[in-house]
A and B are shown apart, each in its own frame.
Chain A
Amino acid sequence: MKKQLNPRHAALSLAIVVFIAAFILSILSAVTIGAVRVSFSDVYRIVLYQVTFGQLKIGEEAFLSSGTMYEIIWNLRMPRVLMGAVIGVLLAMCGVVMQAAVQNPLADPYILGISSGASLGATFSIMIGASAVFTGVLAAMGTAFWAFIGAFGAMALVMLLAHMGGGRMTSAKLVLAGCVVGSLCSAFTNVLIYVGKDAENMKTVTYWLLGSMVSARWPKLLLPGVCAVLGLLFFLTQLRTLNTLLLGDEAAMTLGVNLTKWRMVYMIITSLLSAVAVCTCGIVGFVGLMIPHIVRGFTGSDHRFLLPIASFAGGIFLIWADVIARVLIQNTEIPLGVITSAIGAPIFVYMMIRKSYGFGGND
């Protein structure tokens, strides 16, 4: 191995390895936990049989590839745990990149209006129903599609507003535009809920707005999974530019970064990625904001360490938050957004009062 030039970097490199290991371990152990008690050996026999495409057969084939246990472990729990992992990675990664792109430590899909746009789209689909307004292909599209359209529309509007009035797209303009679009979308969402008045639909909307992994199945996992992997690979090539962006518009430009171009690229990619996350699982708050913050408190702002560690930490966090959502109250699912906020808020406050970590500025 090459000589490490900086002992702090050596420690942080080790931390990356530890987090990847913890990420994998979390997936493997979270599968064993759930409302239905299944023994470890049963769980792993089924998982082993499936991941080796039937090569590793311990026990009867009928048990390993069909029946209730198989359904619970392989078709319900496994995709659900993986969904938590994937969505966590997506949200935390988007948080990190957005915070760098707008040079604001408070940026996340919420602040930039993307989640609100997704909510509006989903609410429209649930309360009004696409078939009431559109015909043909559009009428057949489900909630996830409309959530994605909402998120994408909100993002486009934010970009447009930030561009208006000429001049460069500054971070202040982006954040303000995000707030404006966010409140606008929330207002329309509330109108739809109010006008809809259907109690059953209202429950569905609320459930969606609070986020959940209940509907996770293998086919649904494909899109966010591919997005998470590609997104992570792409941003791993951008670490130096991301670092430079944190220095501010002017410094970034004088250090050779075409700020306008890269900020636009990052915003579009993270908006798309978070739109995918939100339209798959509803709104899971706090992950995109909090995980990057907490990790930054330990690693510092250097994206070479922050980005990979925060991404995997996001995955780990959401896996376990979802486990809690599944098992905390027997026979009841607690909305995931409630869990993430309930865990996140106190940790966030702790980080805030910890003296060694400021939110920037000269405190």
Chain B
Amino acid sequence: MTIETKDVSVTLSHKEIVKKASLRVKEKEFVGLLGPNGSGKTTLLKSIYRVLKPSGGVVLLDGNDISAMSYRDTARRIGVVSQFNNLSFDFTVQDMVLMGRAPHKKAFDRDTEEDYRIADEALRRVDMLDFKDRSFLTLSGGEKQRIILARALAQQVETLILDEPTNHLDIKYQIQIMDVVKSLGVGVLAALHDLNLTLMYCTYVYVLKNGSIIAEGYTDDIITEELIRNVYEVECSVARNPVSGKLNVTFFSKLREEMQ
């Protein structure tokens, strides 16, 4: 399945947050969305997963306008792991993950053995199976994040949209979550802050600045010292790590000279 945005603009309180953004996630492609805070990454993602309505342009799923589809249909095809998951009501971890099955259910369908198996499997993948009877509200931020990912996994979708999925996570789970997502072999569109994680996992990236896409291309070609200076206003060195063979970004402090 491919996701495509064509000239999508989003206006929030009379301010145009996203300006004519066009991007495309091809089948099974891991695409990164980069950009500094406030550049419109989350807003653009929300317009794709239909929480916000674009003020201009269209979002296409396999070439079909997404706004003409039912929410149930989109939920069977796109899973979302977003930044904020504040709950006022408590559920057990297992119930939480089972809700990922909701888009596949009709009103009177019961949760079947198959659903429980899928939920357990999703929990096992994020290493949270032992937590299944715990109450969701008692979990730490990182644990919650992993449960939300498990819920998206239980949705069994062809595409995942991730909004800074590694926030709140220590490095072990950052890598674990990215590994889990990568190993699914589904299309992924992920807003990321960490450039090194981007270099590790994304094949293609789009760079947002002030709501416009200012660069796109294969990750290794796009993440350059010049682009980082231009977009993030930070000095750095991009070099190939001899051990991993991957490109690696090392940032420099503005106090570099004084500190040496």
Chain A positions near chain B (C-beta within 8 angstroms): 3, 5-6, 8, 103-105, 237-238, 240-241, 243-244, 246-251, 253-259, 296, 300-302, 358-362
Contacts and interface: CB of A to CB of B under 8 A. Distances in A.
A256 B75 contact: yes
A244 B107 CA distance: 12
A244 B88 contact: no
Interface residues of B, number: 41
A327 to B, nearest CB: 38
Interface stretch (B25-33, B78-86, B171-179, B188-196): B78-86
Interface in B36-91: 46, 49-51, 70-76, 78-80, 82, 84-91
B107 A240 contact: yes
A230 to B, nearest CB: 16
Contact of B100 (A240, A255, A301): A255
Contacts of B103: 255-256
A302 B95 contact: yes
Interface of B: 46, 49-51, 70-76, 78-80, 82, 84-92, 94-95, 99-100, 102-103, 105, 107-109, 111-113, 116, 133, 137, 155
Given A246-B89, A248-B86, A360-B137, A240 B105 contact: yes
Contact of B49 (A5, A238, A246, A253): A253
Given A244-B99, A255-B75, A361 B51 contact: no
A253 B107 contact: no
B191 to A, nearest CB: 15
Given A240-B105, A253-B71, A254-B50, 5 more contacts: A5-B111, A5-B116, A253-B51, A256-B76, A358-B90
B108 to A, nearest CB: 7
Contacts of B88: 103-105, 246, 359-361
Contacts of A244: 99, 102
Contacts of B50: 253-254
B79 A254 contact: yes
Given A240-B107, A360-B137, A249 B51 contact: yes
A246 B102 CA distance: 13
B90 to A, nearest CB: 6
B137 A362 contact: yes
8 contacts: A3-B113, A6-B116, A237-B107, A253-B49, A255-B75, A256-B73, A257-B71, A360-B89
A254 B78 contact: yes
Nearest to A3: B113
Contacts of B73: 256
A237 B108 CA distance: 6
Of B51, B82, B108, most buried by chain A (CB within 10 Å of CB) is: B51
Nearest to A104: B88
A241 B103 CA distance: 10
A264 to B, nearest CB: 14
Of B89, B90, B105, most buried by chain A (CB within 10 Å of CB) is: B89
Given A237-B108, A250-B51, A256 B113 contact: no
A301 B71 contact: no
Contact of B90 (A6, A251, A360): A360
B49 A254 contact: yes
A89 B188 CA distance: 47
Contacts of A358: 90, 137
A250 B84 contact: yes
Contacts of A248: 84-87
A58 to B, nearest CB: 43
A257 B111 CA distance: 18
A238 to B, nearest CB: 7
